[in-house]
Amino acid sequence: MSERNEASWNTIISGCVGVGLYAEAFELFRKMLVQNIEPNIFVLSSLISACNKSASMVSQGIQIHGFVAKIGLLSDVFVSTALLHFYGTYGFMSNARRFFEEMPERNVVSWTSLMVGYSNNGDPEEAMKIYSRMRREGISCNQNSFATVISSCGSLEDELLGRQVLAHVVVSGLESNVSVANSLISMFGSFGDVENAKCVFYRMGERDIISWNSIISAYSQNGICEESLRIFQKMRRANVKPNSTTLSSLVSACSSVDNLKWGTGIHGLVVKLGLDSIVCICNTLVTLYSESGRFENSELLFLEMPERDLISWNSMLASYVQNGQCREALELLAELLRMSKIRSHVTFASAMAACSSPETLLEGKTVHALIIRAGFHENLLMGNSLITMYGKCGVMGAAERAFHTMAARDGVTWNALIGGFVENEEPREAMKAFKSMRENGLSANYITLVNILGSCSAPNDLLTYGMPIHASIVHTGFERDDYVKNSLLTMYAKCGDLASSNFIFAGFANKNAVSWNAMIAANAHHGSGEEALKLFVEMHRSGLGFDHFSFSGGLAASSNLAILEEGQQLHNLIIKLGFDSDLHVTNAAMDMYGKCGEMVDVLKILPEPSNRSRLSWNILISGFSRHGFFKEALETFHEMLQVGIKPDHVTFVSLLSACNHGGLIDEGLAYFSSMTSEFGVTPGIEHCVCIIDLLGRSGRLGEAEKFITEMPIPPNDLVWRSLLSACRNHNNLELGKKAAERLLELDPSDDAAYVLLSNVCAINGRWDDVETVRKKMKSNNIRKKPACSWVKVKNKVTSFGMGDRSHAQTEQIYMKLKDLMKMIKQAGYVPDTSFALHDTDEEQKEHNLWNHSEKIALAFGLINSVEGSTIRVFKNLRVCGDCHSVYKHVSEAVRRDIVLRDPYRFHHFSRGKCSCGDYW
DNA sequence: TTAGGGTTAG
């Protein structure tokens, strides 16, 4: 052609676009402009629509927008509709909307493009608003607009709305149109109504590949993986050639039911069909491998993809998040932001999920800013994700602000808010939100209930929160839901109501790992360690594998029983299986070593300060305190504050207890007052008991009594027991009697109360009173809990009672005791007969003292253990003062280290000294 | 018009 006119330019460019030769089309367009030939509206529209095909063409689209504005064609309905569609394709919905609102004239395509934009950018609700506006303005829908509207109903999972639209479709007579019917199949699929999807599919007079894909996807979405594979076979028999969409649906069917075997098979088919470089199939494979635990495969696939689109990046982001690699996820996000202008609400949803701990708050705020800049801030998913993120970062104020600024909310919004309150230990707020959720017309689903049950985790919560929630669960029929049932079981277990959790556990047909773990933990913490270990073994026998929770529970049981060897074996297994990288498990192991007397091992496995959770710090502080390292306990507390971890009520119990046992009276009182003023922790009865103990132990009995009368909480048995014990140590008969009286009012069966009272009387030589107490005990049928000590020698535990003579080595044991007594008397030991309880002569009293079980256990340990090794003795009751003094002398005389554990703490004896500094 | 990526819970 020697002479080219305007029409021929336009024809050739549109032709190139039509067959996908976009680069050529743009090159011709450039030449055309150089030659000053004006493009017509058709060529401009087709070039703009070419920019919808690939994200690499976004900047060209924006340039054409500029060009169109320059030549004054923005008012043309075709051109502006194409631009509206272009901006919608890439998520620039505010631009798309502006075009729409400013159009002097609109056609059905303009309306449809706007709806498609909203629908594809995660805002089907807005799409439906446009649809109602369209109906109000009397514009009739074509097949494309109906298809979009129907798919929006599907995304919204709004069945009622769906059926209304279906009625409109029937009136329009378009229900037999293939595109419309296809959309109906997928809409029913989204509703979980596979029957109706099937019905539409089989009634179709004519089907295309999309019809087949839609029915396959309807099955796969609903977890009916086998059926989608069956339809796939049927499709092949009908000689319909599967396309990439078919294969994508099948791969995702496999990942949704976590069937790696079938998924791998389909991957093979993909390769066989030569579809392995198709972007959307690779995307589904990235997800398949990530969700079935093959993270490496997923990452490799992503790295080797010949071409990537936004969804590839989003899939990889999600995969990193799912695999717990949040740093990598944020780095990937940064790379995406550097490389391309394209991002979607889903990109940011994953980005926010990567910022799920207080350390990532700054990154989270940055993502928030990016969302606002990208114009996604009014999106429902973004609002929901923001609430979740701020909740997980521990800033509920920000979460609430996000909640209040949202234009629309759904059930997820409320669940995220409630979950945030629960996670941040604000049960009152959680309950308040739970209530207003229902007042706002939204009903709770199983996730709401699982969340809200988590707000109830202490015995005191049971009546206030736990039982009313349980009642509402029964009322709404959610009791049958397995997740809810497990949460109920866990709730009762955490509140220490083992009878109720046992009842639920026993009646549970589908016990899973969660149920077993909850029962193991409950028994370890509230019931018995033996029962917990029994369950641990049974769980394994029932064919379930152990996870982080089971190991934490098993370790807690070992701590509870103070069985170091078993705990160590468990810890070895944990290391072998790689569970030691989990912080919860490490915390449980630290606690186990601490409670079994091995502070050295605690420090060996202690994570770096920046990696410690509040629980780790609490365990460390209580460990130091329990072992008499009071200075270290206090230092650890300050280190905890330095790294920015907020102390909680447990931290203060350990801290105050350290001050208490370390005789750090002023420090203890100062921490107690700073607890509320500086850290906002309300003192509980347990803190008050520490202060009473602190004052009483140091002999400030008057102040202790004054504190009791002035404290904001009514005193309980622990308060009076502590005061009584202080009266016994500091010989205050009057106050002691008063304390014992109060104590016995609260708990008449308390054997310790009688024993302590008779102690006070005995010290004062009030043997008549001692007799009265003893008679009272007898008439109330109360017996002193028998003392018992045990010692582990060469892996065998031997226990002894008071004056025990049942052991085969009895002769040797008592000989040894005689030797020891002689040896330490020479070194200055004086028997403290004030610990003897009977009115006998001094010699007899001394004899009784040397019948104490802890002394017998010590003698046995010395006879049978290897020279130089540490002797470990356990006692079920508090160690006696005379025995404490004997242990000190013996440790010096025989040059052996001795560790004595009573129910409260460890005493490390070495070279005549005890770690408690004789102040316990 | 079909597929693939996301939020609450586990």
pLDDT band of A716, cuts 50, 70, 90: confident
What are the tens digits of pLDDT across the range A443-455?
899 999 999 998 8
Residues 6+ apart with CB under 8 A from A623: A590, A591, A594, A599, A602
Q: What DSSP element (H or E) covers A81?
A: helix A77-89
Q: What is the pLDDT of residue A2?
A: 44
Report the DSSP beta bridge partners of residue A793: A796
Rounded, the Å distance between the CA of A385 and C1' of B9 is 14
CB A340 within 7 Å, strand B = no
Residues 6+ apart with CB under 8 A from A773: A754, A757, A758, A761
CB A245 within 7 Å, strand B = yes
**Other beta carbons less than 10 A from residue A467's beta carbon:** 17
Report, in angstroms and rounded to the nearest whole number, the Rg of chain A calculated over CA atoms: 37
What are the tens digits of pLDDT across the range A656-683?
999 988 888 899 999 998 988 888 888 8
Nucleotide with C1' nearest the A385 CA: B7
pLDDT band of A837, cuts 50, 70, 90: low
Rounded, the Å distance between the CA of A216 and C1' of B2 is 9
What are the tens digits of pLDDT across the range A461-508?
787 788 888 998 998 889 888 889 989 988 888 888 888 888 888 888
Rounded, the Å distance between the CA of A6 and C1' of B4 is 42
CB A580 within 7 Å, strand B = no
Its sign, for the CA torsion A321, A326, A327, A329, is: positive
Nucleotide with C1' nearest the A517 CA: B10
Rounded, the Å distance between the CA of A277 and C1' of B2 is 20
**Other beta carbons less than 10 A from residue A537's beta carbon:** 10
Q: What is the pLDDT of residue A154?
A: 92
Contact between residue A371 and residue A335 where contact means Cβ atoms under 8 Å apart: no
Contact between residue A243 and residue A209 where contact means Cβ atoms under 8 Å apart: yes
Report which of residues 396-435 in chain A place their beta carbon less than 7 angstroms from any atom of strand B.
411-412, 415-416, 419, 423
What average pLDDT does the segment A376-384 reach?
Answer: 91
pLDDT band of A391, cuts 50, 70, 90: very high
What are the tens digits of pLDDT across the range A800-829?
988 889 899 999 999 999 999 999 999 889
| CA–CA distances in Å: residue A705 to residues A670, A688, A763 | 19, 12, 21
Contact between residue A646 and residue A613 where contact means Cβ atoms under 8 Å apart: no
User: Minimal CA–CA distance to A53: which of A75, A12, A25, A31?
Assistant: A25
Nucleotide with C1' nearest the A343 CA: B5
| CA–CA distances in Å: residue A873 to residues A597, A831, A919 | 11, 21, 19
Q: Which range has the worst mean pLDDT, A200-209, A360-369, A526-535, A619-628?
A: A526-535
Contact between residue A207 and residue A179 where contact means Cβ atoms under 8 Å apart: no
The residue lying closest to nucleotide B2, measuring its CA against C1', is A210
At A39 the three-state DSSP class reads: coil
Contact between residue A558 and residue A529 where contact means Cβ atoms under 8 Å apart: yes
Q: What is the pLDDT of residue A819?
A: 92
The answer, yes or no, to whether residue A784 has pLDDT greater than 90, is no
What DSSP assignment string belongs to A425-453?
A: T-HHHHHHHHHHHHHTTPPP-HHHHHHHH
What average pLDDT does the segment A721-748 reach?
Answer: 84
Residues 6+ apart with CB under 8 A from A919: A661, A662, A663, A697
Averaged pLDDT score across all residues of chain A: 88
Which is higher by pLDDT, A830 or A458? A830
The answer, yes or no, to whether residue A514 has pLDDT greater than 80, is yes
Q: What percent of chain A has pLDDT over 90?
A: 42
User: Minimal CA–CA distance to A314: which of A345, A340, A341, A292?
Assistant: A345
The answer, yes or no, to whether residue A21 has pLDDT greater than 80, is yes
Degrees, nearest 5: CA angle A397-A646-A453: 65
* Cα diameter, chain A: 135
| CA–CA distances in Å: residue A640 to residues A31, A360, A583, A644, A678 | 69, 18, 16, 7, 15
* Domains of chain A (ranges, CATH numbers): 611-683 (no CATH), 706-785 (1.25.40), 789-914 (no CATH)
The answer, yes or no, to whether residue A216 has pLDDT greater than 80, is yes
Measured CA to CA, the distance from residue A114 to residue A109 in angstroms comes to: 9
User: Which conformational region is residue A358 in: left (phi greater than 0), alpha (psi within -120 to 50 degrees), or beta?
Assistant: alpha
The answer, yes or no, to whether residue A333 has pLDDT greater than 90, is yes
Nucleotide with C1' nearest the A183 CA: B1
The answer, yes or no, to whether residue A1 has pLDDT greater than 50, is no
CB A315 within 7 Å, strand B = yes
Residues 6+ apart with CB under 8 A from A795: A565
Degrees, nearest 5: CA angle A556-A560-A565: 80
Q: What is the pLDDT of residue A425?
A: 85
What are the tens digits of pLDDT across the range A549-604?
899 999 999 888 878 888 999 999 999 988 888 888 999 999 999 988 888 899 99
What are the tens digits of pLDDT across the range A557-572?
988 887 888 899 999 9
Q: What is the pLDDT of residue A4?
A: 60
pLDDT band of A189, cuts 50, 70, 90: very high
CB A388 within 7 Å, strand B = yes
What average pLDDT does the segment A68-81 reach?
Answer: 91
What average pLDDT does the segment A858-878 reach?
Answer: 89
Rounded, the Å distance between the CA of A198 and C1' of B2 is 15
